[in-house]
Structure 1
Amino acid sequence: MAGKVRYLDSREDEQERGITMESSAISLYFKLVKSAEEGKTIESEYLINLIDSPGHVDFSSEVSTASRLCDGGLVLIDVVEGVCTQTISVLRQAWIDKVRPILVFNKMDRLIVELKMTPHEAYLHINKILEQANAIMATFFTGDLMEEEATKLAAEKKQKSQEEEEFDENKIYDWSMEERDDSDIYFDPAKGNVIFASAVDGWAFRIQQFAAFYTKKLGFKEQVLQKCLWGEYYFDPKAKRVLLPKHLKGRNMKPMFVQFVLENIWAVYGSVIVEPDRERVEKIVNALKIKVLPRDMRSRDPQILLTAIFAQWLPLSTCVLLAIIGQLPPPKDAQRIRIPRMIYPNLHFKRNEAIEPTNETERALYDCDLSDQAPAVAYVSKMFAVPIDLLPENRRKQMTAEEMRERGRRQRDLRAAHALLDQTGEGIPLDAEQISALTEEAEALEIQDMKELKGERIIGFARLYSGKIRVGQKLYVLGPKYDPKYPSKHVSEITVDSLYLIMGRDLESLDEVCAGNVFGIGGLEGHILKNGMLASSLNDVKNMAGVKMESSPIVRVALEPEDPTEMDKLVEGLRLLNQADPCVEVMLQETGEHVILTAGELHLERCLRDLKERFAKIEIHVSDPIVPFRESIVRGELPVNKEKEGLVTPRGKVEIKISSKHLTLQVQTVPLPSRITEFLLEHTASIKAIVEEKLVKKNMENEDNEVQDALQDTGDGSTVVTNKFLSAKELREALEKEFALAKKEGGPFAQYWDGIVDQIWAFGPRRVGSNLLVNRIPGYVRKSFFEVDSTKSTEVSGDHADEVIKVEENEKALSILDVDFHIHTGFQLSTLTGPLCAEPVTGVCYIVQAVDIHPDDSANGDGEPVDVRSRLHTIQGQVIAATKEACKQGFLDWSPRLLLAMYTCDIQATAEVLGRVYAVISRRKGRIVSEDLKDGTHFWQIHALLPVVESFGFPDEIRKRTSGAASPQLVFSGFEMLDEDPFWVPTTEEELEDLGEKADKENLARKYMDMVRKRKGMFVEKKLVEHAEKQRTLKKN
């Protein structure tokens, strides 16, 4: 933990970069000896399962998987940089998973050596960072409290609506909230949940250590001194009293934390590093009553002496382990709070509320039952790959001295026996061919053994919540989609073939694991992809699998082997990578391309390195990064030619007839208000749940239903997932309110929002997106999308008599009912691949205003209708194509826009390199949002927005331009509209005068659109000859 070994950073690239990229665990044994009465001592033994998680935002999925296994956490903050974006994400993850945090202010040495702060300046600086961290915790607490109150009010409203409605003034206007004690959620050094540390110098301390040290000198009780050593408390040496600020009476005194804690640490650094003074160092060593070796005192490297002093005075490992034991709950206490929230994620719990178990399995989970009778229930948070030759069963074991002597004795006896046989001449002589055959066979066996020891083994990274697991035991594996209502689905049975104690880069074999421990388990390959559950019995088991990652994979690349014959190795390598990395997604596109999706550029680099060196072990050709876009529309200006011609139909209205002339479709396209689009994106999970519920009630689901797969998230971070699912009724009411507010705001489209919620036909794309298909066909009534009690097997619900337009009372006639589902399919296709560059559409409403069916009697001389139903399949296919084309034309009738995937970029830089940082951001089409000088430092905090498509190579360029003085942190923030029409050309006299007919000004939207179209093999409108008069003529020979 302290020092330069970096034991838990086992990967080569982790060692090279000096950062953690994968979560790795280690089990630490700690014996604590406490003094008791009458000079006796009490010994306590602890086993601490420590998981080291990455801090880089690209690997925040590793934090998500680790937090599910932990009961507490150490949140590290760079004391110079302060609270960063990733700090907030980690604290939020800890709050959601009910992981109790301890705050660690790391890199304290930088305040002394780099920033040259005085102890009092350092105290003020640290106090501000602590206030920021506590403010973040307060926002989480307030958010939960508001949600609890909203749920309570909704329940009261529901109960009141069922009774007789009476006007109750108190209930309507009572905005008071129940008071809750939030004192235990904050970080306070006096409570012991804050550590001050310098990991590179190997020291750390809490207030308690100095309180115990000064209690005899100052004559205070340790508990009193502990409360006063942090905050605005001052010590009067004459009166030997602790003073508050109001009692200072103008005296210039230092806070006790500065006087008794920081000044001592500053004195050590001052005597050893800043202004080396041998005599002063010896006085400090004697005063602290510590022993420093003479060779360390004589060392020319002051860092060695500094580390030696602090290792004796304030050892980091002891401080951290004591904080973990004292502040973090044991598994039994933690599981009573955490397990109910994992089993029932959609229920509302009060903070620190423990509920009673409903069955014996829950009781065992809540109590962390270690008995043999308790059911074994474990959660596998991720899978990780280990080289087969590094597994304990394949490692060469270290022989003891006795075993080595025994082996030597056997070898001597064997040599003596061979010598005796040679002398007596006994035995059968072998010819050259037999000797060669035996040699080749031995070599072949040796090569086969070496091949078996090569490759990777997939191990599960798990925690046992109750019971015991033994090698050879049979367990059920429950997938993330497991539902107790359907116990036969997403379940498989395995036999545990190996158990491991995870010790950083090494694994140690185990025969048995008890509840409360983190461990590795073999035998899950082919049964668990990313995460899952293990259970010894399916009775009363609830699914705890499924972790929402903080970072969505946004960057994708296509892969192919340089040697086409090695495609099978690439496929196998991708399979292993998909299991070993919790965040990466592997896809096989319709074009046959193998694509991987990663969280960022650094994550992509790590995945490609793993593929080439560990999993596939082949050379791979990688495409340029593929970044998702979105397509939308705005009102914009009307094209000049349409203004001159005059509009016969409203803008966005398209009427199209299918090729067989049997049907005419009329679709009105309008842009959705931004508030509606944001609402739909925020509640995508709720819409998905409603659609899935419909499918279940229609008995359409299969084990791996195609429609279920179509409902999966696109995996590019376009949706904002909330923890709370709204029911169909709640979602309908909330959407009605949003449309009412949109209508109240006015605008040119307000007339379209009357009664639109009950007319919603479908959402898209993938049935859950932010686009609407609305039914306003006269006489054609469908049930509301939000009614989930349908029993029909098609998308149409309700009584047929209310839905069918009676064109002719003839069975041969065509009806809207026959093409209902195909209009819906055309809408889904059009929103999945927009007209600009075949990217998903967002924020568009398609209103079907008419479907006119034309009887076809031209082919029959008797005047009877032709049997159109004989050509129904052809007509239905034409309806899909016509719907898609109508949506496309209506979309292009407005002013189209591209939405860019955006990163929020946080950079800390000094004033000297600020201009270079701005230049790089500007060149990358970024936008500065804010800039602030951090109090007490010379660092500027820059907050910017940067398009993902322009971000590749951005961190390296920043570091290069600033000579390493600035390093950016990129976090995906969503999609932002690029307010530029890709089809814009100069038309007015002013524009033509300024830009000319060719409009040499770069059109960014057009550039991005053409780039994507070219990559997808679509037509790109590009002039081969820009300036005919400027073509160069090659010289004739």
Structure 2
Amino acid sequence: MPAITPTQLSALQKNVKNIRNICILAHVDHGKTTLSDSLLATNGIISSKMAGKVRYLDSREDEQERGITMESSAISLYFKLVRAVQQPDGSDKAIASEYLINLIDSPGHVDFSSEVSTASRLCDGGLVLVDVVEGVCTQTISVLRQAWIDKVRPILVFNKMDRLIMELKLTPLEAYNHLNRILEQVNAIMATFYTGDVMEDEARKLEAQNDQEQDGIDWERDDSDIYFDPTRGNVIFASAVDGWAFRIQQFASIYFKKLGFKESVLQKCLWGDYYFDPKAKRVIQHKHLKGRSLKPMFVQFVLDNIWAVYDSVTTQNRERTEKIVSSLNIKVLPRDLRSRDTQTLLSAIFSQWLPLSTCVLLAIIGQLPPPMDAQRVRIPKMLYPDIQFNDNDPPKPNDSVEEALYSCDTSDDAPAVAYVSKMFAVPSELLPENRRKQLTAEEMRERGRRQRELRAQLEEKNLDAGVPLDKAAIEASVAEMMGEADDSLDTATSDDDDTKSEHIIGFARLYSGKIRVGQKLYVLGPKYDPRFPDKHCSEITVQNLYLIMGRELEALPEVAAGNVFGIGGLEGHILKNGTLASTKENVVNMVGVGKEASPIVRVALEPVDARDMDKLVEGLQLLNQADPCVEVLLQETGEHVILTAGELHLERCLRDLKERFAKIDIHVSPPIVPFRESIVNSELPANRDTDNGSVPRGQFEIESSSKNITLNVRAVPLPPSVTEYLVQHTSTIKSIVDQKAKKKSKHTEESDEGLGQIPSGMEAGDKIISAEEFQSTLREKFAEAQKQGGPLASLWDGIVDQIWSFGPKRIGPNILVNRIPGYVRKPFFQVEESTAQQGVTEDHKDEVLEVAAEQQNDSTSLGILDVDFPIHTGFQLSTLTGPLCAEPVQGVCYIVQGVDFHREETEGADVRSRLALIQGKVISAMKEACRQGFLDWSPRLFLAMYECDIQASAEVLGRVYGVISKRKGKIISEDLKDGTPFWQIKALMPVIESFGFSDEIRKRTSGAASPQLVFSGFEMLDEDPFWVPTTEEELEDLGEKADKENLAKKYMDTVRKRKGMFVEKKLVEHAEKQRTLKK
């Protein structure tokens, strides 16, 4: 097929009905890029013989080296479909339709799952690939969930069917049963998504007290269209490496005349519990078999034929192969038939009999919706993510902008609204405006004619002058006269200061209107709020529009709605994603895409040459824009830190920094992994017994350094169920504090900036619940803990109404409780009148219900109100940096039981002038009280954990277990996958032990096993970091030096050493004085 020019593709962008925006989604190494190569071959972009080998959309060097996709990349494809339409006179007329398919290939590795989010947000449909041998894997579930959330209509592709024949050696019947099991698994996953949505919808209705309108579950809601069924055409069976694919319809169209059935009836019977009775010439079900050994129709009419081709080719039965070729009426070259390369012959047969590209493209056009149909379903979900809509009955638009978005309006007067899902970097030499213009054939002929004339003139001139002919000099003169020398010189000596080596381009989808080069647009940031139209909003002029063709870009004068495109001129306006709009009236913020993989691995960077610091800072800014998942931080110590999703993601970011963005040598610190600190209610070791007498454990009275205020604070461990609940609902706590901040009229949305963001690696609940629901569930958790009894049970009575704050950063899983006699604050959950704690002491006065009158009115003495904020600040600081290794604390309740003022020190006319100094000392005293209360219990470290997913054969199972055990991991489950020789292993492993794990396990298993590591949260390491042998038994078993390694102490000391804190370490002072003992 001839190559399609960009001009042809840009012309197709205006016909919205014939546009399809699709993405390819799958687990890593399930064949996404090989499938996309086959589709590219139809447009002449690559050779069909090189499909699967070129990996055209993997444009990065490290993608080609590793053989996996790391960045989502797009390309536009042309497809011409000829349909026979019956005319009124009964004759058939061929009508051709031209389609534009915008294809986005996405990564499958878990480290790059944020790239999947950016791809699916721009698409209306998707191809979900499943390796039929490996089956449903972790990322398969993740991409199905992402498609469900973004309302992307999926087509299921069973890929690598050849492995069932060549590797597993399954019979057609065994293969059918195996495929059926995988299909059931995928449909079960879709059912869980549907059930979850229904339950959330019903809970929302109950909360809104709409029971009288509709009682119980909505039984009219239909779920039949969410499942995959081969008879409906949304399942493709394929082998991308051999270049073939089919749907049930293709075989139904072949057999319906031979069998005497209607095509539609046969199509429904070619999958499922249906058998063909050759005697009666009818279709029967299993219950009517009566002991006969008939095959299911899918096996008999479909799989048997495919197995026969593979059998004849692999056994090199030439006679049988020629017979198959002639019966299929296809042409295979004699040299291919004689070839001993079975792969070539299989591709030659299947590419003509069941061409993959034709099957997939027909499925895309027939099953996936055009933009105007898709946007009616998808746009309401994007604009109102918290509301459930019925796909079959979409809501009515509220204004003209929504109406244009719902209908994908392409008219000139329609408002232009686009969503930029990510920014990506492109080398400046690859931009169309910087590329040398390609000459047409006529221009090249004219250029050649002109060169020949000039050459002849110079030769004649030299002969007349008697100068000997110097061909090199003549060619140089011709080149100079043609202007080539100047052009090449300009290109070679371009000034680096004037031209950037990398340009940032926006990867966008236009939902309504048109965008033209030179047009003015408004850029809305993720925090844009229509109530404050001038905040987080800027104006730009569109500099360039691009048609994205994989690794190349083609310039466009304009883009119409419904298309995916690249846009230049957004540098400095959009960091990672944003919304573009041509008007501010009724404009909507479409940013809402989240990261699947939370960045958990961080490293500190510094240039090898200190003079290159500016280049490093600039390179980090480019990296931050070009990668949707990476986070770049500047620490208080001045260190530049990047946070990445995993080890592979970190490698890619460092390579980009060194080779593309900063172009300098960089020193990289060892990976910095987060920990959490906590306490448990267990006996202290003998070496740490405290003599507090009758004082409860964890309670301390601390006097401020100015000796004028004494704080009585008690630290106690929270019940594990409460801690877990707080960790899961961090986002809910943040929303409650946000609401409290917004209720104060003098605070605008800037109030949020005082809030801490949800920390990296801290699990934020997927669902934000109401304050009332959160409060009531929290009461239940404390009530359950109180019923279970124990020495701390009495403390939980009425504690929810006494909550002062959460921490750290006011959203963490620790609680500050007010039990100061005579000092009653408004409940934390009373959003209507309560205030946000903003860091100004005066704000806290509103939260007091009753305090002694003399403390409020007497301006010459200090009262409880004056230390309200310092106590709260001390709590926040102490929970942010724990006493073990300055990591965040979780699962601790700090109860303020009293504040005593030494009147002679806190009275007098000058006490107000010293208020700031006194408050600072109260903060220090509160931090010290929290620290001592914490250490009075048995401390524990919480380790960041990866959930490790590995598929391995029985031969390498022992080696896999050995590597996991060496890395301090533990096996959660091991299951033999049905119908395969592979074991599915799930394990938990500390993130700090995971570096180099993937390489080691591939090395030990010779590449037979490859792990997927997904962050799963924090888990307690049940070891006291201060434990040493003390009892006689421990001393006898372990000795005074404790031969058993204390992992908790090892991790604690590692972190303390990195942070420059004190570490107990034994040093040999005078090594030269040590004598060697005689034998």
- Specify the TM-score bucket, using the shorter chain as the normaliser: over 0.9
User: SS at 1:798's partner residue?
Assistant: helix
Contact persistence 2:758–2:764 (CA under 8 A)? no
Matched, 1:349 2:389: yes
Contact persistence 1:779–1:803 (CA under 8 A)? yes
Deviation at 1:804, TM superposition (A): 5.4
Q: Which residue of 2 aligns with 1:188?
A: 229
State how 1:59-208 maps to structure 2 within 5 Å: 59-156=112-209, 178=219, 180-208=221-249
Deviation at 1:88, TM superposition (A): 0.7
Percent of pairs identical after alignment? 72
Q: Which residue of 2 aligns with 1:18?
A: 67
Matched to 2:67, the amino acid is G
Relative to 1, partners in 2 of residues 1:310 and 1:701: Cα closer, same or farther, differing over 3 Å? farther
Q: Distance in 2 between matches of 1:697 and 1:412?
A: 81
Q: Distance in 2 between matches of 1:986 and 1:579?
A: 52
Relative to 1, partners in 2 of residues 1:46 and 1:745: Cα closer, same or farther, differing over 3 Å? farther
Q: Which residue of 1 aligns with 2:873?
A: 825
Q: Distance in 1 between matches of 2:730 and 2:349?
A: 57
Deviation at 1:475, TM superposition (A): 0.2
Deviation larger for 742-751 or 672-681: 742-751
Q: Distance in 2 between matches of 1:889 and 1:654?
A: 7
State how 1:501-520 maps to structure 2 within 5 Å: 501-520=547-566
Matched, 1:719 2:768: no
Q: Which residue of 1 aligns with 2:637?
A: 591
CA offsets 1:152-181 (integer angstroms, 9 cap, x no match)? 222338999xxxxxxxxxx9xx97663532
Deviation larger for 559-568 or 53-62: 559-568
1:329 to 332, 356, 369: 369
Q: Which residue of 1 aligns with 2:1004?
A: 961
Relative to 1, partners in 2 of residues 1:744 and 1:335: Cα closer, same or farther, differing over 3 Å? farther
Deviation at 1:130, TM superposition (A): 0.8
Q: Superposition RMSD on alpha carbons, in Å?
A: 2.7
CA offsets 1:61-87 (integer angstroms, 9 cap, x no match)? 000111111111111111111111111
Deviation at 1:613, TM superposition (A): 1.0
Q: Which residue of 2 aligns with 1:168?
A: none
Deviation at 1:415, TM superposition (A): 7.9
Q: Which residue of 2 aligns with 1:665?
A: 711
1:914 to 957, 966, 969: 957
CA offsets 1:707-754 (integer angstroms, 9 cap, x no match)? 61642222x2212232x4333333323322332333333333222222
Q: Distance in 2 between matches of 1:297 and 1:116?
A: 24
CA offsets 1:206-256 (integer angstroms, 9 cap, x no match)? 111111111112111111111111111111111111110000001111111
Matched to 1:207, the amino acid is I
User: SS at 1:556's partner residue?
Assistant: strand
Q: Which residue of 1 aligns with 2:54?
A: 5
Contact persistence 2:951–2:1009 (CA under 8 A)? yes
Q: Which residue of 2 aligns with 1:708?
A: 753
CA offsets 1:798-844 (integer angstroms, 9 cap, x no match)? 37672457459642101111111111111111111111111111111
Q: Which residue of 2 aligns with 1:427?
A: none
Deviation at 1:601, TM superposition (A): 0.7
Deviation larger for 406-415 or 901-910: 406-415
CA offsets 1:517-556 (integer angstroms, 9 cap, x no match)? 0000000011000000000001111211131111000111
Contact persistence 2:382–2:592 (CA under 8 A)? no
Q: Which residue of 2 aligns with 1:466?
A: 512
Matched to 2:714, the amino acid is Q
1:221 to 262, 266, 277: 262
Matched to 2:967, the amino acid is R
Contact persistence 1:805–1:816 (CA under 8 A)? no
Deviation at 1:906, TM superposition (A): 1.0
Relative to 1, partners in 2 of residues 1:778 and 1:421: Cα closer, same or farther, differing over 3 Å? farther
Matched to 2:444, the amino acid is M
Q: Distance in 1 between matches of 2:419 and 2:284?
A: 52
Deviation larger for 529-538 or 443-452: 443-452
User: SS at 1:856's partner residue?
Assistant: helix
Deviation larger for 379-388 or 225-234: 225-234
CA offsets 1:303-362 (integer angstroms, 9 cap, x no match)? 111111111011111111111111111111111111111111122334554101110100
CA offsets 1:592-624 (integer angstroms, 9 cap, x no match)? 111111101111111111111111111111111
Q: Which residue of 1 aligns with 2:802?
A: 759
State how 1:725-874 maps to structure 2 within 5 Å: 725-790=768-833, 794-798=842-846, 802-803=850-851, 806=854, 810-856=858-904, 865=908, 867-874=910-917
User: SS at 1:378's partner residue?
Assistant: strand
CA offsets 1:38-73 (integer angstroms, 9 cap, x no match)? 121222221111110001111100001111111111
Contact persistence 2:845–2:865 (CA under 8 A)? no
Contact persistence 2:685–2:1027 (CA under 8 A)? no
User: SS at 1:889's partner residue?
Assistant: helix
User: SS at 1:156's partner residue?
Assistant: coil
Q: Distance in 1 between matches of 2:848 and 2:790?
A: 37
Relative to 1, partners in 2 of residues 1:184 and 1:809: Cα closer, same or farther, differing over 3 Å? closer
Deviation larger for 343-352 or 960-969: 343-352
Contact persistence 1:532–1:546 (CA under 8 A)? no
Q: Distance in 1 between matches of 2:176 and 2:80?
A: 33
Deviation at 1:508, TM superposition (A): 0.8
CA offsets 1:341-385 (integer angstroms, 9 cap, x no match)? 111112233455410111010000011111111100000000000
Q: Distance in 2 between matches of 1:448 and 1:5?
A: 32
Q: Which residue of 1 aligns with 2:974?
A: 931
Name stretches of at least 5 consecutive residues in structure 1 with no aligned partner: 161-170, 425-438, 859-863
User: SS at 1:55's partner residue?
Assistant: coil
Relative to 1, partners in 2 of residues 1:908 and 1:220: Cα closer, same or farther, differing over 3 Å? same
User: SS at 1:976's partner residue?
Assistant: strand
Q: Distance in 1 between matches of 2:456 and 2:745?
A: 79
User: SS at 1:852's partner residue?
Assistant: strand
Relative to 1, partners in 2 of residues 1:211 and 1:857: Cα closer, same or farther, differing over 3 Å? closer
Q: Which residue of 2 aligns with 1:488?
A: 534
Q: Which residue of 2 aligns with 1:163?
A: none
Q: Distance in 2 between matches of 1:906 and 1:857?
A: 63
User: SS at 1:68's partner residue?
Assistant: helix
State how 1:221-300 maps to structure 2 within 5 Å: 221-273=262-314, 275-300=315-340
Contact persistence 2:828–2:834 (CA under 8 A)? no
Give the number of aligned pairs: 1001
Q: Which residue of 2 aligns with 1:607?
A: 653
Q: Which residue of 1 aligns with 2:1045?
A: 1002
Q: Distance in 1 between matches of 2:488 and 2:852?
A: 80
CA offsets 1:859-893 (integer angstroms, 9 cap, x no match)? xxxxx846322211111111111111111111111
User: SS at 2:533's partner residue?
Assistant: coil
1:888 to 931, 944, 955: 931
Contact persistence 2:808–2:877 (CA under 8 A)? yes
Relative to 1, partners in 2 of residues 1:887 and 1:805: Cα closer, same or farther, differing over 3 Å? farther
User: SS at 2:903's partner residue?
Assistant: coil
Q: Which residue of 2 aligns with 1:383?
A: 423
Q: Distance in 2 between matches of 1:808 and 1:692?
A: 29
Contact persistence 1:782–1:796 (CA under 8 A)? no
User: SS at 2:545's partner residue?
Assistant: strand
Contact persistence 2:856–2:863 (CA under 8 A)? no
Q: Distance in 1 between matches of 2:993 and 2:488?
A: 58
Relative to 1, partners in 2 of residues 1:70 and 1:244: Cα closer, same or farther, differing over 3 Å? same
Name stretches of at least 5 consecutive residues in structure 2 with no aligned partner: 1-35, 39-50, 466-484
Contact persistence 1:346–1:725 (CA under 8 A)? no
Matched, 1:631 2:681: no
Deviation at 1:400, TM superposition (A): 1.6
Matched to 1:217, the amino acid is K
Q: Distance in 1 between matches of 2:287 and 2:455?
A: 92
